[in-house]
Amino acid sequence: MTNARLVNAGDLPALLALYADCDVSRSAEPERAGQIWTQTLAREGLAIFVSDGGERIVATCMLITVPNLLRGGRQHGILENVATHPDFQGRGHGRAVVSAALAEAWKQDCHHVLMQSGRADPRVHRFYEACGFVPGLRTAYCARRPEN
């Protein structure tokens, strides 16, 4: 059985190694990553969950909870940066971190948890649906920073 845990301050190198092994996105440069990590750990309403496979982190996701004046005052949850090492996919690590994030969101009285995927692979979408996400309930839009 795979388990998830909250990150600790010493997990940054292992997390960056996981991102480097995944087809997610380019990570911040090491010096900048350290600054971002310090800010991340200090930020209220942000939790990063990881799953360990042996001596390394093999899956992760970030839950952001946001206060909300609507929905009876119940928070919004946003799931971001979901990644599982390719060698560990299908072993329950991704489900463990997403399940831990959803459990925390419900504990924090979130009305819902939103997530988006830019991946075209149907297996990715089946994974999210198996975790309880329902496609098509909302329409997602994305504004990108203008190139200077």
What mean pLDDT value characterizes the chain?
94
Q: Which CATH class is domain 5-130?
A: alpha beta
Dump pLDDT digits (tens) for 65-92: 999 999 999 999 999 999 999 999 999 9
**Global confidence as pTM:** 0.93
Domain layout of the chain by residue ranges: 5-130
Lookup result for tokens 């997602």: 140
- Count of positions (residues) in the chain: 148
Which among 105, 90, 26 is positioned nearest to 58, based on CA atoms? 90
What's the rounded mean pLDDT across residues 12-27? 88
Q: What is the pLDDT, as a whole number, of residue 64? A: 98
Angle between helices 93-107 and 122-130 (to 10 degrees): 40
Q: What is the pLDDT, as a whole number, of residue 114? A: 96
Q: Running DSSP on this structure, what letter comes out for residue 69? A: S
